Amino acid sequence: MNLRPTVPDCMGEADPNLGDIVVPEDVLQRRIVELGAEITRDYEGRAPLLVGVLKGAFIFMSDLARAIRLPVEFDFMAVSSYGSATKTSGVVRIVKDLDLDLSGRDVLVVEDIVDSGLTLSYLRRNLQARGPASLEVCALFVKDGLQKSDPDLRYVGFPIPPDFVVGYGLDVAERYRNLPFICRYLGPA
């Protein structure tokens, strides 16, 4: 007898690897509209450069950009501290660097999730060294109690429990990114 919850995968089929929904789709979308309004207000008269952290933030960044009522530009970085694991390796590396010069730009890093804060700390130091006029971070999710120091986030979508979660860009071994909600990942039964 399987006592695991049955959350549907992207095909609508029950997936025993998925636990309960942490943030439903409608709640996600409402909060993104609110974040877009905050950013629009705070950056009035400026055109922020949104720097998306691949791959996890691409869906969030797309929806967030449409909720910002200002001219924006985009660039992307890919950094890794996970590989295909569900726990960080502790080593951060740049997999894809930016194409644009940050000098004198108002840069808003768009991050999917902040776990320990190690990757974000590395990223912030790296980008700050490139001379932006301002550098802020918008993280959709922050895992409760895992950061060793204050991650200094300007915009936060949701604090969430310190469980491994998937959906809305977040994955395990490249799966589950296209779920429209966030749910716990239980792993193989």
**Positions marked catalytic:** 115
- Which residue has tokens 């490139």? 130
Handedness of CA 68, 72, 78, 81 (dihedral sign): negative
Given a contact cutoff of 8 angstroms between Cβ atoms, the answer to whether 18 and 132 are in contact is no
The phi, psi pair for 126, rounded to 5°, reads -60, -45
- Report d(CA 118, CA 124) in Å as an integer: 10
Q: Which of 154, 172, 174 is nearest to 163 (CA)?
A: 172
DSSP state, residue 19: E
DSSP state, residue 167: B
For the record, the structure tokens of 33 come out as: 């509209």
- Report d(CA 172, CA 180) in Å as an integer: 15
Given a contact cutoff of 8 angstroms between Cβ atoms, the answer to whether 166 and 185 are in contact is yes
Helix (H) or strand (E) holding 53: strand 49-54
